[in-house]
């Protein structure tokens, strides 16, 4: 027996504290081992590709890699004075190499993004670059007068920047200039800010519409006897399980000029045969179809939260003299707020990235920012701009998420 105040020792002589830490470590390692496959999968298949893609929003080394000499030359140049003979000589040397490596097309495509018409200028000049003799500036101008235009060289200077703020600027309707300044994009080419705002507007309206339509349904589902409510729940889940494309196409059949809804309007005298409502291929169509498609995402969280609200509370409130409205508003509603929070956030974030439905039924004024991102991914192949737009959208959503957390509180949200 000892009366020492030293650490408590376990049976095998090691301090109990360390023993406990070991046991905790083992169980933590086991838990980590269980989630590791999923974690590795998410990192490899989700997080890394996203970072790599977003990286392209401000990183573009295509010109600098393929045209190293002229990249070095224009980086010395201030972007406003007359380009020097050295710059021209470096350009000709690069063009010769790019032509023989067959990379001239990539270079030309890159510069053409900054100034229309430079694509053919580069491919054409490269064809005869090998035969050019000093003075090179004059040789270039003799080949095509566009080489005497300072805007051509400014486009080269912008393209040569590896860390290029131009794409993010373009995503916000600004233009990055060769001297490092930013200016507003020409009026007729401004589109992105407008579309970001419209995306926000459509998402907000869809969220509110889903809430107004979904709340009574969820309330009804949660108060009915289980047998009836399960049957009704199937009616909510059935469209939820149906393909998005099928549902969108069904709305086209319903809403188009010669569609079911318009036929009914004509029958009931609300519209004439020559003057039918335009319910689709515009913003109205986008709103209707998206509200319908996203409705289950509102109803299900609401329903699962409402299921857990004991009916006794409302009865207690009424027994103490509350009117129906007061009992609902002061007792029931606050308890359903976590469901509203979850549903609204789910619907809003899904809506902000929607693109198939607006693409099919949106016409011209029902398009959203994701449709432009899709356009740059698939049609114009300007992945850098697509990445920049995606980056802006991501930052924006994270900001909204933060705002939501500050106002409503992210803990105050329940999916069931």
Binding residues for another protein (CB under 8 A): 102-106, 108-109, 112-113, 116-120, 123, 188-191, 194-195, 198, 256-258, 281, 359, 363-365, 367, 372, 375, 377-382
Minimum distance from residue 293 beta carbon to another protein (Å): 18
Structure tokens at 190: 């401004």
> Which is closer to another protein, CB of 85 or CB of 365?
365
Q: Taking a C-beta distance cutoff of 8 angstroms, is the pair 33, 57 a contact?
A: no
For residues 261 and 277, what is the distance between their CA atoms, to the nearest angstrom?
9
Cα 158–Cα 196–Cα 50 angle in degrees, nearest 5: 65
Q: What is the largest CA-CA distance in the chain?
A: 104
For residues 148 and 140, what is the distance between their CA atoms, to the nearest angstrom?
8
> Which is closer to another protein, CB of 203 or CB of 382?
382
Nearest Cα to Cα of residue 145 among 121, 109, 126, 167: 121
> Which is closer to another protein, CB of 106 or CB of 138?
106
For residues 25 and 43, what is the distance between their CA atoms, to the nearest angstrom?
23
Nearest Cα to Cα of residue 92 among 63, 119, 67: 67
Q: Give CB contacts under 8 A, 24+ apart, made by 124-132.
A: 125/95, 126/95, 126/96, 126/98, 126/99, 127/99, 129/92, 129/95, 129/96, 129/99, 130/96, 130/99, 132/92
Minimum distance from residue 95 beta carbon to another protein (Å): 14
Minimum distance from residue 379 beta carbon to another protein (Å): 5
Minimum distance from residue 124 beta carbon to another protein (Å): 10
Minimum distance from residue 248 beta carbon to another protein (Å): 14
> Which is closer to another protein, CB of 304 or CB of 382?
382
Minimum distance from residue 189 beta carbon to another protein (Å): 5
Minimum distance from residue 40 beta carbon to another protein (Å): 21
Nearest Cα to Cα of residue 139 among 95, 104, 80: 95
């Amino acid at each position: 027996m000892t009366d020492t105040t030293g650490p408590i020792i376990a049976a095998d002589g090691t301090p109990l504290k360390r023993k406990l830490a070991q046991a905790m470590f083992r169980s933590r390692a086991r838990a980590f081992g269980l989630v590791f496959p999923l974690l590795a999968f998410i990192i490899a298949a989700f997080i890394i590709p996203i970072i790599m893609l977003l990286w392209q929003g401000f990183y573009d080394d295509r010109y600098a890699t393929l045209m190293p000499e002229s990249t070095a030359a224009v980086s010395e140049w201030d972007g406003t004075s007359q380009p020097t003979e050295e710059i021209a000589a470096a350009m000709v040397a690069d063009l010769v190499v790019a032509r023989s490596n067959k990379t001239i097309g990539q270079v030309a495509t890159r510069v053409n993004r900054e100034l229309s018409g430079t694509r053919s200028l580069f491919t054409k000049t490269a064809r005869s670059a090998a035969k050019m003799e000093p003075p090179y500036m004059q040789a270039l101008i003799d080949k095509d007068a566009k080489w005497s235009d300072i805007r051509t060289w400014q486009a080269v200077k912008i393209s040569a920047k590896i860390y290029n703020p131009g794409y993010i600027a373009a995503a916000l309707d600004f233009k990055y200039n060769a001297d490092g300044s930013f200016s507003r994009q020409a009026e007729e080419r401004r589109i992105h800010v407008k579309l970001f705002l419209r995306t926000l507007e459509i998402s907000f309206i869809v969220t509110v519409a889903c809430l107004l339509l979904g709340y009574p349904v969820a309330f009804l589902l949660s108060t009915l006897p289980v047998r009836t409510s399960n049957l009704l729940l199937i009616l909510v889940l059935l469209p939820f399980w149906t393909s998005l494309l099928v549902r969108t196409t069904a709305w086209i059949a319903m809403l188009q000029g010669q569609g079911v809804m318009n036929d009914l309007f004509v029958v009931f005298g609300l519209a004439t045969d020559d003057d039918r409502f335009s319910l689709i291929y515009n913003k109205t169509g986008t709103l209707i179809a998206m509200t319908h498609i996203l409705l289950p995402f509102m109803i299900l969280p609401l329903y699962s939260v409402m299921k857990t609200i004991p009916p006794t509370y409302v009865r207690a409130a009424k027994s103490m003299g509350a009117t129906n409205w007061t009992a609902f508003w002061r007792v029931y509603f606050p308890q359903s707020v976590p469901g509203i929070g979850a549903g609204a956030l789910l619907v809003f974030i899904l809506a902000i990235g929607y693109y198939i439905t607006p693409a099919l039924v949106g016409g011209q004024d029902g398009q959203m920012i994701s449709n432009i991102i899709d356009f740059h991914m698939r049609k114009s192949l300007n992945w850098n701009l697509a990445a920049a737009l995606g980056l802006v959208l991501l930052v924006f959503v994270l900001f909204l998420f933060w705002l939501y957390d500050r106002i409503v509180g992210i803990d105050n949200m329940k999916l069931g």
